[in-house]
Amino acid sequence: MKKYLFIAFLIPLITSAQHSIQGTFLPAADFNFALLYYVTPTGTEYINQTKTKTDGSWSFTLNSQAKPGIYKIVYAVPVETYNFDVFYSGNESVALTFSLEEGLNFTASEENMVWQTYTDSLATINKLISQYYTTENSKKQQKSALATIFKTQRNTQDSFEAKTSNMMIAPFVKASRTHIPKGYQAAQQYAQNIKEQYFDFINFGDTLLQNTKFLNDRVLAYVLAMPPEQEYYKQAVTTIVTASKPHDTATIMLLANLWQYMIQNQQPEVANFISDTHLLPLAKQYNQTHLVNTLETYNKTAIGKQASNFNFTYLDSKKVTNTTLYNFNTSLKTLLIFWSSSCNHCLETLPKVAAFMEQYPNIVVLAYALEDGVRQWNKFITYLPQFTHTYDLQKWQSPVVETYGVSGTPSYYVLDSNKTILAKPEDFEALKMYFKNNHKQP
């Protein structure tokens, strides 16, 4: 009997530990599924999926092991576009409606409802500030109106910080605070103060902030608010490193994401600055081996870096010549192509490359073939006499392949006379575009 009493008491405890994230998509006919992801600093972790019911409703049950934090709800594809975030504290369920016409609205979860009210209030206030700074008003009218708005902004921020002091969203509310003038400020001074105090209210050591994309989004917004020039971006990176001290774990996370962003958005000089000046030394200091290997591997073939040297042999006027990449073609630019005579795409593409490069006789093409035999290679290169040819019988096991990170053929590298990497076109079309935009025909 005691055994059954124990079970009877246990069941309510287990049940109470379960919460849910549930909602309704409207109009119901336009939706088929909902996906649930947990948001991390570097991306998302897949949790679950469900089909929507005929009325557009759906639900995910979360047990006591579900991590508090920000969860992403995906309602269509592509998943990167059609989604929204919700807070989950582990202490309450979340209920919402999402309408294509009216957007997101929470019907249960104090955390989310307070956060939504807070962000809506900030958006309204910031819109008013922008309007008064950008529209024509008398100086007296502008000063009076802005002073009132700033007072409202301060009262709003203070009120929400007090209200959320014991809630999960507290660090997010505090971190969203910006410079709030005590009275009127000229637009230029106001903008300068916003910039200088941007990170003053962020606790970079807060583990919850670190475990979401919030810090990354704030940091990226700061960088992109700078004039779109490399030196301004570099200054912004240095400011971020200073602001996040002594929380090196957060600094590494933020810089790693910024580094990746700069690579993806064709800012190699800024990416190299992040890696060489800040990120790689920190990664080594904290023995983050995977990150160190990633950075060092990228640096071997990063745009703006000197390409790795290697030995090779080629025929020069029917004379066998042994040389290195650094000693080869020291006065002109080089187009280095990794290819293979067993690659059908290469056999189709290289003649097109040869025909196109005839427009640029001051560019030397070094065709580095990855082979397991020379018979087919010897036959095919007779059709490409304008290239300098060499081969590597280690093929995919070649140290050169590993150093250059070659994962497919053909692969292209444009080098200057010092063998600094100028470009890494992804394919023949990108190669043509690069030369058309960056090299004048003689």
Q: What is the pLDDT of residue 442?
A: 63
> To 10 degrees, what angle do helices 110-134 and 139-163 make?
170
Indicate the pLDDT class of residue 94, thresholds 50, 70 and 90. Answer: very high
Which has the higher per-residue pLDDT, 243 or 15?
243
Task: Kindly give, in sequence order, each residue whose CB lies less than 8 Å from that of residue 32, ignoring residues fewer than 6 positions away.
Answer: 51, 52
Indicate the pLDDT class of residue 419, thresholds 50, 70 and 90. Answer: very high
Q: What is the pLDDT of residue 40?
A: 87
Asked whether the predicted pLDDT for residue 1 surpasses 80, the reply is no
Is residue 340 a contact partner of residue 409, using CB atoms and an 8 Å limit?
yes
Indicate the pLDDT class of residue 11, thresholds 50, 70 and 90. Answer: very low
Indicate the pLDDT class of residue 318, thresholds 50, 70 and 90. Answer: confident
Is residue 204 a contact partner of residue 243, using CB atoms and an 8 Å limit?
yes
Asked whether the predicted pLDDT for residue 10 surpasses 50, the reply is no
Q: What is the pLDDT of residue 204?
A: 96
Asked whether the predicted pLDDT for residue 8 surpasses 70, the reply is no
Between CA 205 and CA 186 the distance in angstroms is 34
Closest by CA position to 126, among listed 163, 172, 50, 180: 180
Q: What is the pLDDT of residue 316?
A: 81
Q: What is the pLDDT of residue 15?
A: 42
Asked whether the predicted pLDDT for residue 136 surpasses 80, the reply is no
Q: What is the pLDDT of residue 9?
A: 46
Asked whether the predicted pLDDT for residue 152 surpasses 70, the reply is yes
Q: What is the pLDDT of residue 381?
A: 96
The residue behind tokens 């019988």 is 393
Q: What is the pLDDT of residue 291?
A: 96
Q: What is the pLDDT of residue 45?
A: 94
pLDDT in tens, 158-193: 999 999 999 999 999 999 999 999 988 989 999 999
Is residue 434 a contact partner of residue 415, using CB atoms and an 8 Å limit?
no
Task: Kindly give, in sequence order, each residue whose CB lies less than 8 Å from that of residue 175, ignoring residues fewer than 6 positions away.
Answer: 201, 202, 203, 206, 209, 214, 215, 218
Structure tokens at 274: 């992040």
